[in-house]
Chain A
């Protein structure tokens, strides 16, 4: 058997950390390079993140009763027994082929020897190079040599080699000899690597570089990244950078550096709308007037539309207009934004502070070695992703890398089934997410039981619309059917699932009513979603999925109607289905373009609220507009009205910006009602996990543990969890599989340790601990009724110990001492 795979992960931000920890849990030896002195990347300065407005980075850390894994805020440091961490290093080049790759790491940040340093700060005093203060406490000057990170103890200093001139003054000033400048040129070479994962994120657009607004050089025109520092709860009030006066009125200008043909940035950065909404909502709490200038509010996740509604309730003002300039009014020391909320209606608005909502740097490209064989690039290193999607993408990329490495290091399963831990995984649902999960697990040598309600694999058909995608789905289905480790149960359903993680017992019922019991260690729920039903009075109406399927079916020789009207967000993005389904807009744009390519003279009209296309799909929008598709915005308070007349559909809509009524007629009406989860609440009941009011399965932590349900060992992915396009469903499936695989690997490890134990002689079975445990790690044993702890679910919070009056619930023996020492 081959030794554990050697994997290099580049980037110690949230993606890199997640990929590294997943790989380590799957048994690889991992090397993690991060150019800063501490992990966490962008999150170092990001205290509050949407949609919860909290940080929670530490939740990616695996619980570890042995105490060998770092268990504290990662902004203070990082340590993991399976990961060799190289803080301060960046990968310069990667050579060789998989299995025999070597990477050259060069220093980017030089650390001061913290054992010697006594925090006298002489070095900082003498350093001549001043740096922008990213963390805004303003208490200590920021120089090329500075504290490694604000949350680090004071004797942890670091030198940024990007800024450092190697003048040597700090070294001379240090009486402890803690500074070794020669190490600045240090290089490390890592050999014999099996593969590498690039997860270092993207660069953000700097307004000065692109001269975005002429006033961008003004001190009170800042970026969202800068504003984050102002917001950081370390400070109290938000002050103007120029004169330190408190900010009373602030504006956010969206799409700074994105969605611009002039800058060759025909992309949407995807998360800037949410960032601005968050910043404005938080600024509202400090009683600042907040206005956001935007083109489309792209609140395109399950919970984001509701977040927008809350922001509005808090008094954040939304102005639909892309300002052409930001003017300085020196006499009044304010910034003025002239804009036209409706044609001919010129207005000026004055602000103390203007925040440019920046996204991906248009010129940014991944490093050259990203394209080499054996280097796997996380999608988060191609485009900007929010935290949950970064985490999913990182896990999925780790899974792909492992899969291609064929993971001989993972245990040969059936043989390894232990008393309490079964190595099999139950996957429910065989759509894109479920199939990807099954194949990822099978590639990791884990036997899979794949249960599908339909008689065929491939899902509910939302994703096999375009010919390419249909082929991809068919391909996944065929591979799953063939794989010897995947046991497929079509026309069957899971009816119950009991037991703790690692030892689940589920019953499956097939169409003839026969039942079968399956023992499994984990489960992946991927029951998908389907088109929301539309009330259809006229037969000239189709939903977006039908229409697209039809128009793509005939290939390039098909027929298209001579006129078609799309109504997007039909009965969705408002209660009770208050979320964006994420697939309709781009599907609609593709259909518009296909319609026009089949029938160039066709008249195509789109009624929309916000066009939600992200990343490079923005190009579709640009093309659709240039090819003459008519886009008419509407507001949900006054949706377009429909009427059937003489075999045609007549749509009357009022454009809130032009404030005029307009009427259009078409042969075909296409409605986009969005998607709904197919079996969410039912699955939630059977598997005892939570689901939202809309029926989406809920995760343990929306940002940091997105594919884990609240019940250990049950993973959720794809449309069953949240509205996702095909590609993301695949990623989620892989990420869920990767988490399941890691859990089983941990469970099969015979040295299973636990944080807590139950002393049965003292336990009076009161069940208080059952109620107190936030992770459902407590259960009454099925047969004996005795209280037990599920070691795979327990995260060691100690709530059960505190709640047990009798201390029948106790820390494990090895922890007991620590806890007392600690106390």
Chain B
């Protein structure tokens, strides 16, 4: 992004950002805000829709946790009336999911002011709740405490796409002392309009930021290589894949938590109930009988077939799996291969057409 401005945080970066959001509402740049907020007695910030500036000081825009992926909600809300513009604070993976959802007609990007958050990773929901007990200012401390950072969700530890893309405005945290300052970056267009309304003055971007990003990236890249090659190896045989899928409870949590799985109801979840009994009996006659509920391998393969091109690597599927199957590792591994083959990257650009709709006559099979 071209413009960068530092804002004073006075020891609470979350609050500083909240205030900016409140200003956007006051200035009528937007009519609503989507941002995480924990409403007592709950301590876990969940996505919240607000339209009263006074409510903003209850929110936690920088909380290192994502109750569920906010992309699904932002997409849904964005399909509302044209007159209501909404600012949505989203993580990079959530923006990527939003872009994919937009291509599938599930989001109306024009209605959104997308505010991207640089993301060192998120904590699992339960970890956040536990840590919150011990750390009063967890949201603020997280950004300076490497120990806390090392506890982020397993998928996040090997995420290399931690910088937001396709946002109008970015909240910058890397390479900055958040107790003093946070950064806001923007480009021409709606982002610049918002920056003007917020009276942000473009300034110099501190050089440490570049270094911080680079070192995080190289650390993540090697982690990712390790995870991926392990998982590539495991799933590349039917028994390896089965060693994971065999435990699947068939709860469909992973599918429901997936921000790009946009079907109202997964075709596989229906099928699990509509199994053709005759077929089941036939198969039951083969070696070893048949595992019930049936169709779980088919479920995971179907989801891969349908969505590997669109997987944004958010890790939500792993986070929600009650039996701790590394769903996201499987998914990211297959997604990397698929997206490479199709010369596509999930969430890269709202203009990039869905590869499966490219029926051109060119080329050979």
Interchain CB contact under 8 A, A767 and B264: no
Q: Interface 1/0s, chain B 223-262, versus A by CB < 8 A?
A: 0000000000000000000000000000000000000001
Interchain CB contact under 8 A, A768 and B104: yes
Interchain CB contact under 8 A, B264 and A761: yes
Given contacts A768-B357, A771-B357, contact A806 B263 (CB under 8 A): yes
Verify if A762 is at the interface (C-beta below 8 Å from B): yes
What's the least CB distance linking A537 to chain B, in Å?
45
Verify if B181 is at the interface (C-beta below 8 Å from A): no
Q: How far is the CA of A761 from the CA of B263 in the complex (A)?
A: 11
What's the least CB distance linking A184 to chain B, in Å?
50
Interchain CB contact under 8 A, A766 and B262: yes
New A-B pairs, 8, CB < 8 Å, besides A764-B262, A803-B356, A807-B267: A762-B264, A764-B104, A766-B105, A768-B354, A805-B267, A805-B306, A806-B264, A807-B270
- Note all chain B residues with C-beta closer than 8 A to A765: 105
Interface set, chain B 320-341, CB cutoff 8 A to A: none
Q: Count how many chain B residues have C-beta atoms less than 8 Å from C-beta atoms of the other chain.
A: 14
Interchain CB contact under 8 A, B263 and A764: yes
Q: Interface 1/0s, chain A 747-788, versus B by CB < 8 A?
A: 000000000000001111111100110000000000000000
Verify if B213 is at the interface (C-beta below 8 Å from A): no
Closest 3 CB pairs of A and B: A806-B263, A766-B104, A805-B306
What's the least CB distance linking B60 to chain A, in Å?
31
- Note all chain B residues with C-beta closer than 8 A to A806: 263-267
- Note all chain A residues with C-beta closer than 8 A to B267: 805-807
- Note all chain A residues with C-beta closer than 8 A to B106: 764, 766
What's the least CB distance linking B351 to chain A, in Å?
15
Q: Is the interface of A mostly helix, strand, loop or mixed?
A: loop
10 sampled A-B residue pairs with Cβ under 8 A: A764-B263, A766-B104, A768-B356, A771-B357, A805-B263, A806-B264, A806-B266, A806-B267, A807-B270, A808-B264
Q: How far is the CA of A807 from the CA of B106 in the complex (A)?
A: 17
What's the least CB distance linking B274 to chain A, in Å?
11
Q: How far is the CA of A807 from the CA of B302 in the complex (A)?
A: 13
Interchain CB contact under 8 A, A772 and B357: yes
Q: How far is the CA of A805 from the CA of B106 in the complex (A)?
A: 14
Closest to B79 in A: A765
- Note all chain B residues with C-beta closer than 8 A to A764: 104-106, 262-264
Interface set, chain A 253-293, CB cutoff 8 A to B: none
- Note all chain B residues with C-beta closer than 8 A to A771: 357
What's the least CB distance linking B99 to chain A, in Å?
14
What's the least CB distance linking B306 to chain A, in Å?
5
Closest to A799 in B: B359
Q: How far is the CA of A75 from the CA of B176 in the complex (A)?
A: 75
Our count of residue pairs bridging A and B at CB distance below 8 angstroms stands at 36
Closest to A763 in B: B264
What's the least CB distance linking B286 to chain A, in Å?
20
Q: Interface 1/0s, chain B 133-161, versus A by CB < 8 A?
A: 00000000000000000000000000000
Q: Which one of A761, A765, A768, A806 has the greatest number of beta carbons of chain B within 10 Å?
A: A806
- Note all chain A residues with C-beta closer than 8 A to B357: 768, 771-772
Binding site for B on A (CB under 8 A): 761-768, 771-772, 803, 805-808
Closest to A766 in B: B104
Interchain CB contact under 8 A, B263 and A767: no
Given contacts A803-B356, A805-B263, contact A767 B105 (CB under 8 A): yes
Q: How far is the CA of A771 from the CA of B354 in the complex (A)?
A: 11
- Note all chain A residues with C-beta closer than 8 A to B265: 762, 806
What's the least CB distance linking A582 to chain B, in Å?
29
- Note all chain B residues with C-beta closer than 8 A to A763: 264
Q: How far is the CA of A147 from the CA of B106 in the complex (A)?
A: 57
Closest to A767 in B: B105
What's the least CB distance linking B187 to chain A, in Å?
29
Q: How far is the CA of A768 from the CA of B104 in the complex (A)?
A: 7
Closest to A806 in B: B263
Q: How far is the CA of A771 from the CA of B357 in the complex (A)?
A: 7
- Note all chain A residues with C-beta closer than 8 A to B262: 764, 766
- Note all chain A residues with C-beta closer than 8 A to B354: 768
- Note all chain B residues with C-beta closer than 8 A to A772: 357
Q: How far is the CA of A803 from the CA of B106 in the complex (A)?
A: 16
- Note all chain A residues with C-beta closer than 8 A to B266: 806
Q: How far is the CA of A762 from the CA of B265 in the complex (A)?
A: 7
- Note all chain B residues with C-beta closer than 8 A to A803: 356
Closest to A770 in B: B105
Q: Interface 1/0s, chain B 69-90, versus A by CB < 8 A?
A: 0000000000000000000000
Closest to A774 in B: B359
Q: How far is the CA of A259 from the CA of B265 in the complex (A)?
A: 69
What's the least CB distance linking B64 to chain A, in Å?
31
- Note all chain A residues with C-beta closer than 8 A to B264: 761-764, 806, 808
- Note all chain B residues with C-beta closer than 8 A to A761: 264
- Note all chain B residues with C-beta closer than 8 A to A768: 104, 354, 356-357
Q: How far is the CA of A806 from the CA of B265 in the complex (A)?
A: 7
Interface set, chain B 296-320, CB cutoff 8 A to A: 306
Q: Interface 1/0s, chain B 334-365, versus A by CB < 8 A?
A: 00000000000000000000101100000000
- Note all chain B residues with C-beta closer than 8 A to A762: 263-265
Q: How far is the CA of A803 from the CA of B356 in the complex (A)?
A: 9
Closest to A771 in B: B357
Q: How far is the CA of A17 from the CA of B356 in the complex (A)?
A: 37
Q: How far is the CA of A805 from the CA of B266 in the complex (A)?
A: 8
Q: How far is the CA of A771 from the CA of B353 in the complex (A)?
A: 11
- Note all chain A residues with C-beta closer than 8 A to B306: 805
Q: Interface 1/0s, chain B 267-285, versus A by CB < 8 A?
A: 1001000000000000000
Q: How far is the CA of A740 from the CA of B104 in the complex (A)?
A: 35
Q: How far is the CA of A767 from the CA of B357 in the complex (A)?
A: 11
What's the least CB distance linking B255 to chain A, in Å?
11
What's the least CB distance linking B278 to chain A, in Å?
12
- Note all chain B residues with C-beta closer than 8 A to A766: 104-106, 262
- Note all chain B residues with C-beta closer than 8 A to A805: 263, 267, 306
Q: How far is the CA of A766 from the CA of B306 in the complex (A)?
A: 14
Q: Interface 1/0s, chain B 106-128, versus A by CB < 8 A?
A: 10000000000000000000000
Q: How far is the CA of A708 from the CA of B104 in the complex (A)?
A: 31
What's the least CB distance linking B364 to chain A, in Å?
15
What's the least CB distance linking A209 to chain B, in Å?
44
Q: Which one of B106, B263, B267, B354 has the greatest number of beta carbons of chain A within 10 Å?
A: B263
Q: How far is the CA of A761 from the CA of B264 in the complex (A)?
A: 8
Q: How far is the CA of A807 from the CA of B264 in the complex (A)?
A: 11
What's the least CB distance linking A238 to chain B, in Å?
24
What's the least CB distance linking B101 to chain A, in Å?
9
Q: How far is the CA of A808 from the CA of B270 in the complex (A)?
A: 12
Q: How far is the CA of A765 from the CA of B262 in the complex (A)?
A: 10
Q: How far is the CA of A771 from the CA of B103 in the complex (A)?
A: 12
What's the least CB distance linking A561 to chain B, in Å?
52
What's the least CB distance linking A772 to chain B, in Å?
7
Interface set, chain B 22-57, CB cutoff 8 A to A: none
Q: How far is the CA of A748 from the CA of B44 in the complex (A)?
A: 61
Q: How far is the CA of A766 from the CA of B357 in the complex (A)?
A: 12
What's the least CB distance linking B279 to chain A, in Å?
11
What's the least CB distance linking B273 to chain A, in Å?
14
What's the least CB distance linking B231 to chain A, in Å?
24
- Note all chain B residues with C-beta closer than 8 A to A808: 264
Q: How far is the CA of A806 from the CA of B263 in the complex (A)?
A: 6
Q: How far is the CA of A768 from the CA of B356 in the complex (A)?
A: 9
Q: How far is the CA of A768 from the CA of B105 in the complex (A)?
A: 9
Q: How far is the CA of A772 from the CA of B306 in the complex (A)?
A: 15
What's the least CB distance linking B265 to chain A, in Å?
6
Q: Which one of B262, B264, B306 has the greatest number of beta carbons of chain A within 10 Å?
A: B264
Q: How far is the CA of A766 from the CA of B106 in the complex (A)?
A: 7
What's the least CB distance linking A766 to chain B, in Å?
4
Q: How far is the CA of A496 from the CA of B263 in the complex (A)?
A: 34
What's the least CB distance linking B29 to chain A, in Å?
29
Q: How far is the CA of A805 from the CA of B357 in the complex (A)?
A: 13
What's the least CB distance linking A276 to chain B, in Å?
26
Q: How far is the CA of A767 from the CA of B107 in the complex (A)?
A: 12
- Note all chain B residues with C-beta closer than 8 A to A767: 104-105
Closest to B306 in A: A805
